[in-house]
């Protein structure tokens, strides 16, 4: 009888020991990943890092703790082809991400490049963004190009604001058509920016780029799209 009890106790101890796997306890669930591609608007020129719209997006997500910090590939002044080159040169870049956002094109327009050329470059970049999202178009979100013509910088240099607005609209129209073609979500931030971007609280210290408050608006709009995605 004593022998039977000892055997039973040994079996229970073995089962309990197997359930307490130290490796399992130490393993953490994989964090969701986010890649933000763009130019000065994405890197947040003239604002603090925590005021960038990719950074302000994170606490607005349904499960913010499930996400890793955003990986941002963006630089002030970049055109689409320069973003492409920047991606090629980026270090520690993963093969795929759970979410990819794309805001690019203002510098193509600023430099006077034809919208037809932009459309070709943007389509290639969008396909690359979809590839980074694991070939899932619904995990990519594109933001429209803001109209920098409303800023104090544009006023100081005598920019033809009507002409600038027309060109931005043409760029954005092509951008949306390409997004629709591939089933990618497109967010219009341009019209609201034309109202808020000229306000003192809507401009960064350089008189050109958006303030953190503007980026907060973009993050809010973006979060509504992202929170609809099934990760």
pLDDT given at position 5: 42
Looking up tokens 């094109």 gives: 105
pLDDT given at position 24: 43
More confident residue, 16 or 117: 117
Give SS3 for 203: strand
Domain boundary assignment for the chain: 31-226
pLDDT at 7 over 90: no
In sequence order, the 6+-apart residues with CB closer than 8 A to the CB of 39 are 74, 75, 76, 77, 78, 79, 83, 103, 104, 106, 107
Digit-coded pLDDT (tens) for 121-149: 999 999 999 999 999 999 999 999 999 99
Q: Is 164 exposed, middle or buried (0-12, 13-18, 19+ CB in 10 A)?
A: middle
Alpha-carbon Rg for the chain, nearest whole angstrom, is 24
Residue 51: closest CA among 218, 214, 177, 212: 212
Average pLDDT of 87-109? 97
If you average pLDDT over every residue of the chain, what do you get?
A: 91
Confidence of residue 28 (pLDDT cuts 50, 70, 90): low
pLDDT given at position 29: 83
Confidence of residue 102 (pLDDT cuts 50, 70, 90): very high
pLDDT given at position 202: 98
Digit-coded pLDDT (tens) for 190-221: 999 999 999 999 999 999 999 999 999 999 99
Confidence of residue 63 (pLDDT cuts 50, 70, 90): very high
Looking up tokens 């994405």 gives: 42
CATH class of the domain defined by 31-226: alpha beta
Strand 140-143's sheet: what is its strand order? 71-74, 34-38, 99-103, 140-143, 185-187
Least confident of 10-19, 41-50, 160-169: 10-19
CA dihedral 220, 161, 43, 93 (to 10 degrees): 100
pLDDT at 177 over 50: yes
pLDDT at 20 over 90: no
């Amino acid at each position: 009888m004593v022998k039977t009890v000892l055997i039973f106790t040994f079996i229970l101890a073995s089962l309990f020991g197997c359930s307490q796997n130290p490796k399992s306890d130490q393993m953490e669930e994989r964090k969701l990943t986010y890649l933000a591609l763009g130019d000065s608007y994405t890197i947040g020129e003239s604002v603090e890092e925590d005021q960038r719209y990719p950074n302000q997006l994170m606490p607005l997500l349904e499960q913010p703790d499930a996400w890793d910090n955003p990986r941002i590939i963006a630089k002030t002044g970049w055109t689409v082809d320069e973003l492409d080159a920047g991606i090629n040169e980026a270090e520690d870049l993963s093969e795929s991400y759970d979410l990819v956002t794309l805001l690019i094109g203002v510098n193509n327009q600023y430099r006077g490049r034809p919208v037809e050329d932009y459309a070709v470059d943007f389509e290639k970049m969008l396909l690359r963004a979809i590839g980074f999202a694991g070939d899932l178009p619904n995990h990519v979100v594109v933001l429209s190009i803001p109209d920098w013509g409303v800023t104090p910088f544009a006023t100081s240099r005598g920019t033809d604001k009507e002409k600038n607005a027309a060109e931005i609209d043409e760029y954005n129209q092509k951008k949306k058509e390409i997004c629709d073609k591939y089933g990618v979500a497109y967010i219009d931030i341009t019209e609201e920016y034309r109202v808020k971007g000229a306000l003192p609280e809507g401009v960064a210290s350089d008189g050109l780029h958006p303030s953190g408050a503007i980026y907060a608006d973009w993050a809010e709009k973006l979060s509504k799209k992202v929170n609809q995605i099934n990760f």
